[in-house]
A and B are shown apart, each in its own frame.
Chain A
């Protein structure tokens, strides 16, 4: 009894000092996950949706094939397309032209279903089309001491009071007989508001993307960027500038991919990449594209 009394007296010391949680209550994360990347061009009849399995870097593994279906829907229409996953990434073509006309502000829904994993769902909002007010191309107008660059100006107007985002891609064409096929061109800008999509290495060729968060005054903004002039002097050529109006989901996804420093030695164990896929990872977004032909003056 004497012993119990002393220990009872000790308990308050212990209890009053407690900052305690259950060390066994640790959540279990999925060892495997699915990723969807689907950037739906609303003006196109078809689109491609990618589905990927995560790679287990702890050990080599063999992926077993399985079937999956993708359902894209609006309030009035539904399209479904299926395929099988043979390796770590599969794509499925979807006849999105069968959807009712999509206008800005519409919500598009996505479901990916397979017996191999739980339902993946997402939705995104169709963006406004880009409003291009003006554009110009100045041939070989910028010299960096070594090479000449063509400079391009593009003036956009804010089509609504919602958050908007855009992405620019540039294709060059040599206008001679027997010329090489058109190619995607690097773009560079001194405007800090324009982000370069370095993440895709050669494949994405530094598309420029930006939001309208920094636009002020009359709701317009003039972008200036340049690309290396590769055609010999006197050779006719022109560019196709693709102005994509992208949903904010795409913008956030690309923004995080660029923001995460994947190089360096002491990376902190991974960066949070935006995802709007419930049940998995990745991005589902829509985009509206318009083409501008740029000829040197």
Chain B
């Protein structure tokens, strides 16, 4: 795709340049060890050049120049230059560590931008990892990364390095998206066919990415051009979903449309059957999701204009009917994203690029429960059945404008500076009441809902000597809310030492701020979420992270070990005695404990290798994530909800022949923590008429918050693919299953009763085996 882009853009620019004088572009192509690469191919679409024995090259050009540098055994290097004077530029190529077809996710080090500890995932790699839907998905691939928890069934986003899912932000062509998942984190809201590349910044995070404490995921949607008008697309359908993707391009214009709708009703009986493994209750889970993505770009000489629109909706009805009794739990959850952006790029003379963009996005999450439970009516002096209604309905709306400038400097240095303004409006809503005694007036939230953020960031990357590269960045933000002005300085640094040809050592450290809080309740049942704007008592959250990473890259094997520590402050948690019968304002005022701290330590190991047509990718992550609040757990530390101690994933792939391949994904993870800190004790009483009886009383153990760990998570996914190329495209069949063993991995727990009527904790899973048969057709 990039090659097409190169060819077409170069055709445009070279045609402009023919009538004018040209300038020379010269330089050298080297390895990461500063050794010259002879006979590297410099592809400028109209011409092909080769480097000489000293690795040098020279060509003539004027205007926008798109370059692709290739050499056997090295990763391709792409670059864009605007040539208005004689330029000397050097390129450094990185050795390829794996066979092209193996099921691995490469660690990419783009030396020409300096070294970055990022994990880059290409679409062809995503496609080889089994997915819940049968259609390849970026979330499935990301969860095989160490540090990205695989145990996130039931969550709305990814959990990385001991934070909640609000701490990781997905940037889609620069648009920050919250809760970017379908099916409770099983699938992302982006079709893989629409994606050009994915980068996970879980070590060093570029300073242009703010507003979240944790890592960033950068998703770049497809963009390509053609000398003649051309359309490509795909249509894929499985038991899980049907998706359609269409691209239209010419020499200046690119258009992309992706649409997807779930098909889960096709296997509803199977889902019901799998979810009902206990005769005492009948569970009916009905899932539904859909998404749309749209992108259009237009090239005009030195300028590019881009428009992107995203929309995603998820819904779940999860009803539990207890057999033989009136007790019923009716739950409805839904969440959705809608975002749009307009972006403008200007490629100025001499190489600087000016970017300007306006983004608007919104997120809404609803949890509604109607539970029929017993209630002691003192007037009737008897137990009666009543419906308890609970509702959490939250929305976030953001408008963000950014203008930035970036430029490549001499000696492979790079400089970027930007200004950003963001306006956020957060509407938290929480209600709990009896259905037969509805709220007469749903009191409006009277706390702060608005925060304005003004940010300035600059980042500089370069080299210190021969074997050390660095990136230095500073993001300065002023958060304005109510009468408060908070100024945060968030420096970030990455230093890479190239120890020898195969071994590199990274040190990274950085700080981040997050202006919008997420408070979740990890008690029994579904997880309600409350999003809160900052206020005087709940100031902006801060975090820091420091780590070391040792990388080994051999001919067919790559390995890294990454160890890190993280600290967080100004965190929020629900208080022990939160009363959801209160209004939202009262809950936030009385039921939230603020000024909490977080501490995380972790170790991540990744091994990727292969032999002939067999490839494997094994990752392991150890983590410890704790929280500390003065007013919770008697001021002592307690485990965080996602204190996931051990997380293992293993991908195996085997290419039987050119058409047939098979792959599997196995994941094992520790369970997450539930806030079951109570002791149930029967307390004895006497009555004035001489009787005695005992009544259960639930005592909150003051130092036992988040004490219950759900069971381990184990899952095996399988996939076998058959592909045939034809002259007008490609069609394929994929047969597989998510959760082959049909093990209902615990998502949460409910209070149940054993055969003797004693209360017990019953762990409840959500996702049974999901078989898939996918039929795909792609045309080009």
In this complex, what residue of A is CB-closest to B751?
A: A57
What is the bound-complex CA distance between A281 and B676, given in angstroms? 17
Q: Are B637 and A23 in contact (CB under 8 A)?
A: yes
Write the nearest CB–CB distance from A250 to chain B, whole angstroms.
11
What is the bound-complex CA distance between A240 and B14, given in angstroms? 106
Task: Note all chain B residues with C-beta closer than 8 A to A275.
Answer: 699
What is the bound-complex CA distance between A264 and B389, given in angstroms? 8
What is the bound-complex CA distance between A282 and B701, given in angstroms? 12
Q: Are A202 and B382 in contact (CB under 8 A)?
A: yes
Task: Note all chain A residues with C-beta closer than 8 A to B684.
Answer: 37, 48, 50-52, 89, 91
What is the bound-complex CA distance between A22 and B600, given in angstroms? 9
Task: Note all chain B residues with C-beta closer than 8 A to A89.
Answer: 682, 684, 694
Stretch of A27-35, A114-122, A129-137, A154-162 lying at the B interface: A27-35
Q: Are B597 and A271 in contact (CB under 8 A)?
A: no
Q: Contact mask A190-230 → B, CB, 8 Å, 1/0?
A: 00000010111111111000000000000000000000000
B569 at the A/B interface (Cβ < 8 Å)?
yes
- Among A242, A267, A268, A282, point to the contact of B681 (Cβ < 8 A): A282
B15 at the A/B interface (Cβ < 8 Å)?
no
What is the bound-complex CA distance between A199 and B378, given in angstroms? 10
Task: Note all chain B residues with C-beta closer than 8 A to A270.
Answer: 576, 677-678, 698-701
Q: A17 and B511 in contact (CB under 8 A), knowing A60-B760, A269-B675, A272-B700?
A: yes
Task: Note all chain A residues with C-beta closer than 8 A to B546.
Answer: 14
B689 at the A/B interface (Cβ < 8 Å)?
yes
What is the bound-complex CA distance between A188 and B637, given in angstroms? 44
Residues of A within 8 A of B (CB-CB), count:
74
Q: Are A33 and B509 in contact (CB under 8 A)?
A: no
What is the bound-complex CA distance between A89 and B329, given in angstroms? 32
Residues of B688-711 at the interface with A, using a CB-CB cut-off of 8 Å, are 688-689, 691-705, 707-708
Task: Note all chain A residues with C-beta closer than 8 A to B581.
Answer: 261, 264
Q: Contact mask B386-421 → A, CB, 8 Å, 1/0?
A: 001010000000000000000000000000000000
What is the bound-complex CA distance between A204 and B684, given in angstroms? 12
Q: A264 and B432 in contact (CB under 8 A), knowing A23-B626, A58-B708?
A: yes
Task: Note all chain B residues with C-beta closer than 8 A to A206.
Answer: 378, 381
Write the nearest CB–CB distance from B54 to chain A, whole angstroms.
28
Task: Note all chain A residues with C-beta closer than 8 A to B270.
Answer: none
Stretch of A3-11, A72-80, A99-107, A231-239 lying at the B interface: A3-11
Write the nearest CB–CB distance from B375 to chain A, whole angstroms.
6
Task: Note all chain A residues with C-beta closer than 8 A to B379.
Answer: 186, 188
Chain B contact residues (Cβ within 8 angstroms of A): what range? Answer: 35 or more
Q: Are A19 and B699 in contact (CB under 8 A)?
A: no
B233 at the A/B interface (Cβ < 8 Å)?
no
Q: Contact mask A274-289 → B, CB, 8 Å, 1/0?
A: 0100000110000000
Task: Note all chain A residues with C-beta closer than 8 A to B702.
Answer: 272
Q: Are A37 and B636 in contact (CB under 8 A)?
A: no
A174 at the A/B interface (Cβ < 8 Å)?
no
Q: Are A265 and B390 in contact (CB under 8 A)?
A: yes
A82 at the A/B interface (Cβ < 8 Å)?
no
Task: Note all chain B residues with C-beta closer than 8 A to A273.
Answer: 697-700
Task: Note all chain A residues with C-beta closer than 8 A to B521.
Answer: 266, 268-269
Write the nearest CB–CB distance from A276 to chain B, whole angstroms.
13
Task: Note all chain B residues with C-beta closer than 8 A to A296.
Answer: none
- Among A18, A57, A91, point to the contact of B544 (Cβ < 8 A): A18
What is the bound-complex CA distance between A282 and B383, given in angstroms? 25
What is the bound-complex CA distance between A206 and B491, given in angstroms? 62
What is the bound-complex CA distance between A64 and B689, given in angstroms? 32
Task: Note all chain A residues with C-beta closer than 8 A to B624.
Answer: 23-24
Q: Are A268 and B577 in contact (CB under 8 A)?
A: yes
Q: Are A54 and B601 in contact (CB under 8 A)?
A: no
Task: Note all chain B residues with C-beta closer than 8 A to A23.
Answer: 599-601, 624-626, 637
A96 at the A/B interface (Cβ < 8 Å)?
no
Write the nearest CB–CB distance from A286 to chain B, whole angstroms.
14
Q: Are B574 and A268 in contact (CB under 8 A)?
A: yes
Q: Are A29 and B701 in contact (CB under 8 A)?
A: yes
Task: Note all chain B residues with C-beta closer than 8 A to A39.
Answer: 685-686
Task: Note all chain A residues with C-beta closer than 8 A to B569.
Answer: 19
Q: A52 and B682 in contact (CB under 8 A), knowing A60-B758, A264-B580, A266-B528?
A: yes
Write the nearest CB–CB distance from A209 to chain B, whole angstroms.
13
Write the nearest CB–CB distance from B229 to chain A, whole angstroms.
53
Q: A271 and B703 in contact (CB under 8 A), knowing A17-B567, A88-B682?
A: no
Task: Note all chain B residues with C-beta closer than 8 A to A260.
Answer: 577, 698
In this complex, what residue of A is CB-closest to B752?
A: A57
Task: Note all chain A residues with C-beta closer than 8 A to B681.
Answer: 33, 35, 52-55, 281-282
A294 at the A/B interface (Cβ < 8 Å)?
no
Task: Note all chain A residues with C-beta closer than 8 A to B580.
Answer: 264, 266-268
A2 at the A/B interface (Cβ < 8 Å)?
yes
Most buried by A among B464, B637, B697, B760: B697
In this complex, what residue of B is CB-closest to A48?
A: B686
In this complex, what residue of A is CB-closest to B526?
A: A265
Q: Are A264 and B691 in contact (CB under 8 A)?
A: no
Q: Are B577 and A19 in contact (CB under 8 A)?
A: no
In this complex, what residue of B is CB-closest to A196?
A: B378
- Among A18, A183, A198, point to the contact of B378 (Cβ < 8 A): A198
B523 at the A/B interface (Cβ < 8 Å)?
yes
Q: Are B525 and A281 in contact (CB under 8 A)?
A: no
Task: Note all chain A residues with C-beta closer than 8 A to B383.
Answer: 201
What is the bound-complex CA distance between A54 and B376, given in angstroms? 24
B371 at the A/B interface (Cβ < 8 Å)?
yes
Q: Are B493 and A60 in contact (CB under 8 A)?
A: no
- Among A60, A184, A188, point to the contact of B754 (Cβ < 8 A): A60
- Among A6, A13, A29, point to the contact of B464 (Cβ < 8 A): A6
- Among B468, B542, B679, point to the contact of A19 (Cβ < 8 A): B542
In this complex, what residue of A is CB-closest to B694?
A: A89
Write the nearest CB–CB distance from B583 to chain A, whole angstroms.
14
Q: Are B465 and A57 in contact (CB under 8 A)?
A: no
Q: A21 and B597 in contact (CB under 8 A), knowing A37-B684, A37-B685, A272-B700?
A: yes
A176 at the A/B interface (Cβ < 8 Å)?
no
Q: A272 and B708 in contact (CB under 8 A), knowing A37-B683, A52-B684, A265-B388?
A: no
What is the bound-complex CA distance between A10 and B390, given in angstroms? 49
Q: Are A204 and B761 in contact (CB under 8 A)?
A: no
A169 at the A/B interface (Cβ < 8 Å)?
yes
Write the nearest CB–CB distance from B248 to chain A, whole angstroms.
48
Write the nearest CB–CB distance from A98 to chain B, whole angstroms.
20
Q: Are A20 and B567 in contact (CB under 8 A)?
A: yes
Write the nearest CB–CB distance from A160 to chain B, whole angstroms.
25
Residues of B469-514 at the interface with A, using a CB-CB cut-off of 8 Å, are 491, 493, 495, 497, 507, 509, 511
Task: Note all chain A residues with C-beta closer than 8 A to B329.
Answer: 265
Task: Note all chain B residues with C-beta closer than 8 A to A51.
Answer: 684
Residues of B625-681 at the interface with A, using a CB-CB cut-off of 8 Å, are 625-626, 628, 633-634, 636-639, 675-681
Task: Note all chain A residues with C-beta closer than 8 A to B491.
Answer: 13
Residues of A149-173 at the interface with B, using a CB-CB cut-off of 8 Å, are 169, 171
Write the nearest CB–CB distance from A222 to chain B, whole angstroms.
23
Task: Note all chain B residues with C-beta closer than 8 A to A297.
Answer: none
A26 at the A/B interface (Cβ < 8 Å)?
yes
What is the bound-complex CA distance between A33 and B679, given in angstroms? 8
Task: Knowing that A50-B692, A57-B760 touch, tell me 5 more A-B residue pairs with CB under 8 angstroms.
Answer: A50-B684, A55-B696, A89-B694, A183-B689, A269-B574
Can you identify 15 A-B contacts, CB atoms within 8 angstroms?
A25-B637, A26-B637, A26-B638, A52-B694, A55-B759, A57-B759, A58-B761, A89-B684, A89-B694, A182-B689, A184-B688, A200-B685, A264-B432, A269-B675, A269-B676
Chain A positions near chain B (C-beta within 8 angstroms): 2-3, 6-7, 10, 13-14, 17-27, 29-30, 33, 35, 37, 39, 48, 50-55, 57-60, 88-89, 91, 169, 171, 182-184, 186, 188, 196, 198-206, 242, 257, 260-273, 275, 281-282
Per CB-CB distance, the 10 closest pairs between chain A and chain B, nearest first, are A50-B684, A270-B700, A29-B704, A23-B626, A268-B578, A35-B681, A17-B544, A270-B678, A269-B675, A23-B599
